[in-house]
Amino acid sequence: MIILGIETSCDETAASVVKDGRIIMSNIIASSAEIFEEYGGVVPEIASRKHVEFILPVIDKAIKLAGIQKDEIDAVAVTQGPGLVGALLIGITAAKALAAALDIPLIPVNHLKGHIAANYLTHTDLEPPFVCLLVSGGHTNILDIKGYNDILNIGGTRDDAVGEAYDKVGRVMGLVYPGGPKIDKMALEGDSEAISFPRTKFKDNPFDFSFSGLKTAVINYIHSKEQKNEEYSKEDIAASFQKAVTDVLVENVFETRSKKIVVAGGVAANRGLREALNKRAEKEKVEVYFPIIQLCTDNAAMIASAAYYINEDDFDINADPSLEM
Ligand code: KG4
Ligand code: ZN
């Protein structure tokens, strides 16, 4: 079964052809992220306009690179939400037009299910059940994945998502958007024990997170150093912040006692998180899976893969910016 996936939930215009949910035949991404560097974050209206510009060439390129004819596509899959409504609508409109023209099913996909499926593309034998640590720019959750479409949310952030905290801290440190990957790199040069930042733990749900206190602590640290005209090391801040984040992520996901942990979302690319999870997993004989780095952040291959396991198609879908899992 050949599925063409389309993803436009944020600032990446992406299309991909995937065979049987597991084999990537092509994976094209046109990103407008560079434009947003100067704005310090995604501007929804500009993102939508860029999607309009990119969507048709990106789809054409994905089909061409896969080496197939349009009539070989069995279904079109598209991100329905969560995401920016205007951005989502561009992908959905293109997907509907293509599915109608080819007279094939249109499969709506939850973006978060897509992030999980990035692991099905990376580890072709991986199957549920497992526990998923979903860490992206908009979400931070621990999910009990009982089946491909049987997913229970057992914990999540009560304020900022982890990627969001990275990007906000990055902005205060003077790094261009998105700050996450830059902090990850800077952390390599710093001392993770140099500054003691807070770790939040909830008694009523050991799987819940909070990152806004940590974010504020970093911002206060920087402001207080600047007010006193004192020198400080950005590398130490990056390393100490990253250690505080990864300590909490690792601790909470290991609270599940699951023997199979799958990490998904943009922050799954984080070097510190990979190292910390692998170390703990080795000690406790737990299997840990990450997507390959290129599939951690937004792409359409993950959408096409997730769609392979969804049995419902719906031609009348609308964008749902706050779609639940
Ligand atoms: O999953 P994603 O592409 O988009 C959403 O669905 O949100 O995640 C983007 C987020 C951004 O906040 C970005 O800073 C973060 O993932 N990110 C990272 C790294 N690479 C991307 N955060 C920390 N370390 C990284 N290496
Ligand atoms: Zn995403």
The domain spans of the chain are 2-116+297-308, 127-291
Alpha-carbon gap, residue 159 to 167, rounded angstroms: 14
169-189 residue pLDDT tens:
999 999 999 999 999 999 999
Q: Does the domain formed by 127-291 have CATH 3.30.420.40? A: yes
pLDDT tens, position by position, 40-50: 899 999 999 99
Judged against a pLDDT cut of 90, whether residue 325 lies above it is answered with: no
H helical segments located in 228-266: 234-254
Nearest residue (by CA) to ligand 1, atom 10, is 137
CA of 70 to the centre of ligand 1 (A): 33
pLDDT at 271 over 90: yes
Residues with C-beta less than 6 Å from any ligand 1 atom: 10, 115, 136-138, 163, 166-167, 178, 180-181, 184, 265-267, 269-270, 297-298
Same CATH topology for 2-116+297-308 and 127-291: the answer is yes
Among the four given CATH numbers 3.40.50.300, 3.40.640.10, 3.40.718.10, 3.30.420.40, the one describing domain 2-116+297-308: 3.30.420.40
For the cut 90, the answer to whether the pLDDT of residue 267 exceeds it is: yes
- The Cα 241–Cα 196 span in angstroms is 9
Give nearest CA residue, ligand 1 atom 3. Answer: 297
| Nearest ligand, CA 269 | 1
CA 281 from centre of chain: 22
Q: Which residues contact 72 (CB under 8 A, 6 or more apart)?
A: 2
Ligand 2 centroid – CA 78 distance (Å): 13
Q: Which of 166, 171, 263 to mutate to test the pocket of ligand 1 (most atoms within 8 A of CB)?
A: 166
Facing residues of 106 across strands?
Answer: 76
In the predicted model, is pLDDT for residue 149 greater than 90?
A: yes
Intra-chain end-to-end CA distance of the chain, in Å: 25
pLDDT at 151: 97
Query: In b/e form, how buried is each residue of 234-244, taking b as 16+ CB within 10 angstroms?
Result: ebbbbbbbbbb
The reported pLDDT for the residue numbered 38 is 86
pTM over 0.85: yes
